[in-house]
Amino acid sequence: MDFIQEKITTIHDFRIDEMTIISSLEKISKERPMTLLIPMLYKELHGNTLENITKQINGSTYLHNVVIALAADNEQQYIEVKQFFSRLTIPHLIIWCNGPAVNRVMNDLKNKELDLTYFSGKGKDTWISLGVATLDSYAVAMHDADIVSYARILPAKLFYPVVDPDLDFFFNKGYYARIDMEKLIMYGRVYRLMLSPLLNTLLEKTNSHSDFLKYMCAFKYPLSGEFCMTSDLALNIRIPGDWGLEVGLLAEVFKNITFKRTCQIDLEFYEHKHRSFKRDTEGGISKMIKDITKTIFRNLVEIDGFDINEAFLQSIIVQYKRIAQDHIRQYHADALCNRLNYNRHNEECIVEDISRLMLISGREYINNPTRMRLPDWKRAISAMPDIRQRLKEAALYDLDTYN
């Protein structure tokens, strides 16, 4: 257990008491209402996590609202999700983000010359739901729907540093250890083997002169999907519509608020689904790696004025592989001392695959550096002042229509 403070404030869990923090949140909620946002795919309804998640949320009496950002293929899937969440005793709203009612609102926004209809996936669903969640909340927290080890204290930890007036942070990021204590496996490969060594490579390349890179390196697990922010901040940030969501979100926070208003909190051990690493260039982790690489490069250009060209790319790949291999040696030592199952050869092979994917995505970025991100909500409201209310009405229409 460490007690080190980084460039941003780190809130460790030395002895955080669940009852104390929840009791405090109940009092604070009268002045600062809180909404919990959960993006989910229909298939997650049939996993082994949502039963416990809903049970634990029902004990979170400080919550003003729960918003489910749903991606479903048809009305029958929507109805099943609606029926499942009827067990939630906390006020809640299901937004069928790719459903006909929401799509009508998005088409009307397109007619206002702000076209988001070609976006799809978690980024767009998060954007839509944040707009609705911020209508009547001081702060919004988000976590995924596939958390196996979910406990009632998890959302409480996310909210507390943001809503407590004595702390008053604007953004809080969750971090945790990606260790399966039953199978004794070390996960978190995209961060361990790709993002962390890439950030360190770029930091060396800039001679540690980039505040943005130092900020990114200060997060213990920047790829976590668990965070909380004030509604005001949520309305002023732009996020990617692809797998670069988490990294892009942190970059936007960097651009909008000072370091002293940002923190991260220890969520302890954490178990959720793991994606297999397939040696292709289109799906799964491969797409995630490519999208994250482009997001990092785009922000280096925007923030630090980097010139991303072929020569730069080639040198980055060489340095990245060296640093990643150094990290593997360190993880191997850590795993041996903790008696974890660790395949060093497999990790070396993954680094080779990652370097190839990074080179491909870097070249794609050079050829198309101006790929559009989702706009901030302030711009969307400027184009259509009642868009958030209309999206909420679309969700309520679905609630009444599909039974």
State the average pLDDT over residues 11-30: 96
CA angle 310/314/317 to nearest 5° reads 135
Return the pLDDT at 371. Answer: 66
Do residues 381 and 245 lie in contact, with contact meaning Cβ atoms separated by under 8 Å? no
Residue 372 has pLDDT above 70, yes or no: no
Contact 140, 171 (CB under 8 A): no
3-state helix, strand, coil in the chain (%, to 5): 55, 15, 35
pTM for the whole thing?
Answer: 0.94
What domains lie within the chain, and their CATH numbers?
Answer: 9-401 (3.90.550.10)
- What is the band of 274 on the pLDDT scale with cuts at 50, 70, 90? low
Rounded-to-integer distance, Cα 216 and Cα 226, Å: 16
Question: In the beta sheet, which residues pair with residue 177?
Answer: 269
DSSP letter assigned to residue 194: I
Asked whether the predicted pLDDT for residue 74 surpasses 60, the reply is: yes
- Picking from 273, 264, 271, 274, the residue whose alpha carbon sits closest to that of residue 175 is 264
Sorted by sequence, the CB contacts under 8 Å of residue 155 that are 6+ apart come out as: 36, 57, 60, 63, 141, 143
Taking residues 326-344, report their average pLDDT. 96
Instruction: Specify whether the CB–CB gap between 34 and 139 falls below 8 A.
Output: yes
**CA torsion sign, 311 to 316 to 319 to 321?**
negative
Q: Count the helices and strands in the chain (H runs, E runs).
A: 16, 10
Q: Which tokens belong to 232? A: 């005001």
